[in-house]
Amino acid sequence: MLDQVLEWSSINSGSGNMAGLANMADRLCDAFAVLPGRLERLPAHASTVIRGDGCEKRVQFGDNILLTVRPEAPIQLLLTGHMDTVFAADSAFQDCTWRAEGLLVGPGVADMKGGIAIMLAALRALELSLLRERIGYQVVLNSDEEIGSQGSAPLIANAARNKLAAFTYEPSALPDGTLAGARPGSGNFSIIVTGRSAHAGRNPQDGRNALLAAADIALGLEAMVRDGLSVNPARIDGGGPHNVVPSHAVLHVNMRPRSPEHKRLAEIALQAILDDVSRSRDIGVHVHGSFTRLPKPLDEPTLALLRLVQDCGKALGQNIGWRDTGGVCDGNNIAACGVPVVDTMGVRGGAIHSSDEYLIPSSLAERASLSALLLCHLAREGMPSF
């Protein structure tokens, strides 16, 4: 597993690096070919983003991988991981190094090339078990998780259909192995504001300042923040020469609601703010985007699955708990399909999304053993009652 992590992390597979993602997909197809079943490499679903000038731009995504094993088995599971990282092709963080205390530092070692290695090792162990015929599974390895999974969301939703449970191999929520419990949802929005140009000296009163309107909207969004809803106006694009009233601006914002009710309230409040600013400043507004990750609450089936993971950990001498987290991942997408999911089955490590990202090497064997035992237990006993 460590050799795999070192090899895979030497490949830059930033979400926008198509050549690197293709190389990574090649390596993963080779690695997962040791498992039985049908292995497919599938193109991503089309999606768009809003450029700074307000026009839509088609987004390029890498291919996704789907492995289907024993679809006729009585127990069906889904396992997911992502091959992309947050580190672009021109990032200064490209190589793995060892810290004095024995930690492996490198791009994607924890998030989540180490997790993919764990998943593969656990599935190889399952295939050596006499219980294997009772359990079928699909594996989804996507190329765009770090940018919202818009190109792979339909594939994940389809794979989640009729599954008993799911496991995603994000790194643990804490370096001690703590799992993620509830997660908020997340939505990225681009608010396109259209005003009217005018000369800033001769007739500014005839203009409609789109930049000021975008700022008004941003301040209104800031006022929406409350317990259970975070709102981050992240960037305003627009403006022009100093002597021209700007007629165009784009406000980019992220919202994270803790519950479906907070999501509903956020949508209502956003529309009210847009209506108010549009009316008071006589400007046009168009919103691009949506909540691509729905909130993931801790319901009873998910709690039962977490307790089963905890029990398997105890059998292996691993003390495992869980806590709520502010991050989002493909576990949100799976939970939205009504499937209980534990989405931090990967390595122990930390400092993800930074040039200090590290992996605790001993956690590779620990967490692979945990997944292997868990899969065999589910094959023998099925889902725990709740």
Instruction: Let me know: does 138 contact 66? Beta carbons within 8 Å.
Output: yes
Split at pLDDT 50, 70, 90, the class of 67 is very high
Q: Is the pLDDT of residue 222 over 90?
A: yes
**What pLDDT, in 10s, does the model give residues 132-162?**
999 999 999 999 999 999 999 999 999 999 9
Confidence at residue 279, expressed as pLDDT on a 0 to 100 scale: 98
Confidence at residue 168, expressed as pLDDT on a 0 to 100 scale: 98
Confidence at residue 381, expressed as pLDDT on a 0 to 100 scale: 92
Which one-letter amino acid corresponds to residue 35? L
Distance separating alpha carbons of residues 104 and 317, to the nearest angstrom: 24
**What pLDDT, in 10s, does the model give residues 327-357?**
999 999 999 999 999 999 999 999 999 999 9
Instruction: Enumerate the β-bridge partners of residue 68.
Output: 38, 138
Neighbours of 162 (CB within 10 A): 10
Sign, Cα dihedral of 119, 120, 123, 128: negative
DSSP summary character for residue 45: P
Confidence at residue 52, expressed as pLDDT on a 0 to 100 scale: 86
DSSP summary character for residue 66: E
**pLDDT mean over 85-98:** 97
SS3 383: coil
The beta-strand segments (E) located in the chain are 38-42, 48-50, 56-58, 64-69, 75-82, 97-98, 104-105, 135-142, 165-168, 179-180, 186-194, 229-238, 248-257, 284-293, 322-323, 341-342, 349-350, 358-359
Q: Is the pLDDT of residue 238 over 90?
A: yes
Distance separating alpha carbons of residues 307 and 27, to the nearest angstrom: 34
Distance separating alpha carbons of residues 94 and 17, to the nearest angstrom: 13
Q: Is the pLDDT of residue 386 over 80?
A: no
pLDDT, the chain, mean: 97
Q: Is the pLDDT of residue 383 over 90?
A: no
pTM of the model: 0.95
Higher pLDDT, 69 or 50: 69
Instruction: Let me know: does 173 contact 321? Beta carbons within 8 Å.
Output: no
SS3 223: coil
**What pLDDT, in 10s, does the model give residues 243-301?**
999 999 999 999 999 999 999 999 999 999 999 999 999 999 999 999 999 999 999 99
* Angle of helix 260-281 versus helix 210-222 axis, rounded to 10: 150
What percent of the chain lies above the pLDDT cut of 90?
A: 97
**pLDDT mean over 205-216:** 98
Q: Is the pLDDT of residue 90 over 80?
A: yes
**What pLDDT, in 10s, does the model give residues 18-31?**
999 999 999 999 99
> Domains of the chain by range and CATH?
2-182+296-381 (3.40.630.10), 186-293 (3.30.70.360)
Split at pLDDT 50, 70, 90, the class of 385 is confident
Sign, Cα dihedral of 344, 346, 352, 353: negative
Tokens 């200064």 correspond to: 92
**pLDDT mean over 233-239:** 96
Q: Is the pLDDT of residue 53 over 90?
A: no
Start-to-end C-alpha separation, the chain: 35
The closest of 221, 196, 237 to 55, measured between CA atoms, is: 237
By CB atoms closer than 10 A (0-12, 13-18, 19+), residue 168 is buried
**What pLDDT, in 10s, does the model give residues 159-209?**
999 999 999 999 999 999 999 999 999 999 999 999 999 999 999 999 999
Instruction: Enumerate the β-bridge partners of residue 40.
Output: 66
Sign, Cα dihedral of 156, 330, 304, 69: positive
The closest of 234, 228, 243 to 214, measured between CA atoms, is: 234
Confidence at residue 166, expressed as pLDDT on a 0 to 100 scale: 98
Split at pLDDT 50, 70, 90, the class of 384 is confident
The closest of 375, 36, 333, 40 to 160, measured between CA atoms, is: 333
The closest of 250, 247, 240 to 286, measured between CA atoms, is: 250
